[in-house]
A and B are shown apart, each in its own frame.
Chain A
Amino acid sequence: AQSVTQPDIHITVSEGASLELRCNYSYGATPYLFWYVQSPGQGLQLLLKYFSGDTLVQGIKGFEAEFKRSQSSFNLRKPSVHWSDAAEYFCAVGQEYGNKLVFGAGTILRVKS
């Protein structure tokens, strides 16, 4: 069965510092991978996705993620964090049938000024 692990429940970074959020997945075939962000009291917004091709994908709000098959990872990065990036971030892996997604437990990002 598919699974997604986000090892960090909470991360605190200083404004302007770089960020990396970790995501490891378990899936037998080539995965469809996603990162979503959820601001307090809101639904989820898609940051970026990987289906195939270039393993470094660019997303919105200056985020990028790199797919590493050998490590079963899809880590999210941002070179310089802004206070508005404080939110909860979810990694998800998808399968073709039914387009179902399996989500990680989420990482809460706090940004300190």
Chain B
Amino acid sequence: DVKVTQSSRYLVKRTGEKVFLECVQDMDHENMFWYRQDPGLGLRLIYFSYDVKMKEKGDIPEGYSVSREKKERFSLILESASTNQTSMYLCASSPGDSTGGYEQYFGPGTRLTVT
């Protein structure tokens, strides 16, 4: 079974802090994704990565950055946390080709509260 783990289930940070959310997948997947989930808005893509050290902006990248130094690890960074970044953050990975399938496998999520 594919396993995607996220470093924290719950996190509380103060406004202005730098926040790191870590995600690790154990299936050698090419692609990794960060989403935020808010009620009534579904999942919105923040950033994704299709290879080590490669990244592309998603639909809502403002206020976020990412890092992928190793294939299995994809980090989301909030440079200066703000209250409007309070949300559920979901990490996902996918094999990246038609033989492997295009579905994404999700971690359990990190609920971040910024006060």
Decide whether A and B assemble into one complex: yes
Known: A103-B43, A105-B40. A34 touches B108 (CB 8 A): no
Interface of B is mostly: strand
Contact A99 B43 (CB under 8 A): no
Among residues 61 to 115 in chain B, which have CB atoms less than 8 Å away from a CB atom of chain A?
A: 90, 92, 94, 96, 98, 101-109
Q: Mark A1-28, 1 if CB is under 8 A from B, else 0.
A: 0001000010000000000000000000
Q: How far is the CB of A103 from chain B (nearest CB, A)?
A: 4
Known: A98-B56, A99-B96, A100-B48. A105 touches B42 (CB 8 A): yes
Query: Which among A41, A42, A51, A90 is the interface contact of B42 at CB below 8 angstroms?
Result: A90
* Interface size of A in residues (CB-CB distance below 8 Å): 24
Contact A42 B31 (CB under 8 A): no
* Interface size of B in residues (CB-CB distance below 8 Å): 28
Contact A103 B102 (CB under 8 A): no
Among residues 61 to 113 in chain A, which have CB atoms less than 8 Å away from a CB atom of chain B?
A: 90, 94, 96, 98-101, 103-106
Known: A34-B103, A94-B102, A99-B102. A44 touches B90 (CB 8 A): yes
Contact B106 A43 (CB under 8 A): yes
Known: A44-B90, A44-B106. A98 touches B40 (CB 8 A): no
**Residue of B with least CB distance to A90:** B42
Residues of chain A within 8 A of B109, CB atoms compared: 41-43
Contact B41 A105 (CB under 8 A): yes
Contact A43 B90 (CB under 8 A): yes
Closest 9 CB pairs of A and B: A43-B106, A44-B106, A105-B42, A103-B42, A103-B43, A43-B108, A99-B94, A99-B102, A99-B31
